[in-house]
Structure 1
């Protein structure tokens, strides 16, 4: 028996559906379906998709989470059953924000789709953020100034890759690199080119197929209150504007 076998059997019993009726809805024989439910045969991708659509639940959860432990009404359903996120609310109905601290960061790659893991995270509430699903992630290193090492970046979940915009910053959860916070440089066909705001670090590509989640930057939570020093580029810009004003004033005087 596998977790998938247990899940589809429990879902069928919960919905009071016979094996024969379910098999008919999936377009297969009862004998074939029984093999999936008793674990003697693995369901191909097409059947996985049909079962996921039938129960309105993601393939991720069917394969990796014990659905008996999930309060279905407390899940956030996204378009096309692509992913289901657990959400928690306060007594006013406001969504809590789960915070991925440095202490639990290493486990996020394995637990991002596990409701039990998400529920174990620390929670805060920031009502001013408005609609959408938000989550907090730790900043590490010096690649994205002025966000200091140890501060928390709050991101809004991006449902569709087409909603990602050039020039904005995002938290990317990837299979290979884990969790990174970068600025989108340009969007290629099968990859995103991302860069750090610290020019010391060169841009690089992230394959679309390796991306598990994308969260768009919304706000920063940090402890530092450092005065920002004027950068060389900002100084040059100010000098240019001052020179432009002087030329404008000079032209006005000549007209008089």
Structure 2
């Protein structure tokens, strides 16, 4: 399409649009939203990713045909499952919308998972037994809060905490409460505005076939019991 055609559709002058396209001027947010809707690309991708390096066909379409997530496909052009390795975990909160970052992640195929967009994330720590440190949680992308079921487990990606795996409960419309299955860790609340992505637990990829206990260390068990007793004491005092 010509610049004049695009400018007319956006209801701006050709000269104004040319400055945006050439990078000589920054579009105000009202026009940025129009461009986003016109090309069916979210504003975060317009602002953070070099879209000349990827095909828009390689992005998942969610909602009103707006492309939200860069996705990978396998040799047969089927949706692949990107694996976020431990080494790439720290960069995910800034690279999740970057097609180049996603394109460099390793991929696997699990045909039995069915429809939906899936991605695998590393498990760290001992807050969610029996999933051991170093295993991976495969999650299905959640489009909105309405799909979240209280008491179910999810991968939550936030601006401050990065990637965490927790059991969720909705706290009104604008926040979630994140619970650990290991009672040593206190639940905490996250505002909806701080959440980047949510992925519903689908399956676990572990590293051994040994039965996992909720606690494998006597000292850890003792600390958990002490914490429970302290909570009971506080409750009686209040």
The match for 1:115 among 76, 99, 102 is 99
Q: Distance between the aligned counterparts of 1:214 and 1:230, measured in 2?
A: 25
Which runs of 5 or more structure 2 residues have no equivalent in the other structure?
A: 216-238
**1:103 partner SS:** helix
Aligned residue in 2 for 1:23: 7
In the TM superposition, 1:238-253 aligns within 5 A as: none
Is 2:171 aligned against 1:187?
A: yes
Distance in structure 1 (CA, Å) of the matches to 2:214 and 2:16: 69
1:77 lines up with 2:61 in the alignment: yes
Match of 1:88 in 2: 73
Offset at 1:25?
Answer: 1.3
Shift of 1:142: 0.5
Aligned pairs for 1:148-187 (under 5 A) are 148-187=132-171
Cα distance 1:118–1:102, how it changes in 2: closer, same or farther (>3 A)? same
Partner Cα distance (1:222, 1:27) in 2: 54
Paired residue secondary structure (1:224):
coil
Which one of the candidate residues 176, 195, 209 is aligned to 1:225? 209
Higher mean alpha-carbon deviation, 143-152 vs 106-115, is at: 106-115
* RMSD between aligned residues: 1.9
Name the TM-score, length of structure 1 as normaliser. 0.77
Equivalent residues of 2:71, 2:79 under 8 A apart: no
Does structure 2 retain, via aligned residues, the 8 Å contact 1:185–1:194?
Answer: yes
Partner Cα separation in structure 2 for residue 127 and residue 205 of structure 1: 35
SS state at 2:41 partner: coil
Task: From the CA coordinates, give the structure whose radius of gyration is larger.
Answer: 1
Report the Cα offset of residue 203 of structure 1. 0.8
Hey, what does 2:218 align to over in structure 1? none
Distance 2:177 2:67 in 1: 24
> How has the CA–CA distance of structure 1 residues 111 and 77 changed in structure 2, closer, same or farther, with 3 Å as cutoff?
same
- Distance in 1, Cα, partners of 2:33 & 2:60: 19
Q: Is the 8 A contact 1:137 1:153 kept in 2?
A: yes
**Higher fraction of helix:** 1
Q: CA–CA distance in 1 between the matches of 2:24 and 2:99?
A: 28
| 2:188 counterpart of 1:204 | yes
Is the Cα contact below 8 Å between 2:118 and 2:138 reproduced in 1?
yes
1:42 is aligned, of 21, 26, 33, to 26
How far residue 230 of structure 1 moved from its aligned partner, in angstroms, is 9.4
Q: SS at 1:199's partner residue?
A: coil
Distance 1:99 1:47 in 2: 35
Change (3 A) 1:223 1:37: closer
Once the two structures are superposed, residues 103-145 of structure 1 have per-residue CA deviations (whole angstroms, 9 ceiling, x without a partner) of 1111111111111111211111111111111110000000001
- Change in CA separation of 1:28 and 1:74 when aligned onto 2, cut-off 3 Å: same
SS of equivalent residue, structure 1 residue 83: strand
User: Take 1:64 and 1:228, find their aligned partners in 2: how far apart are those partners?
Assistant: 42
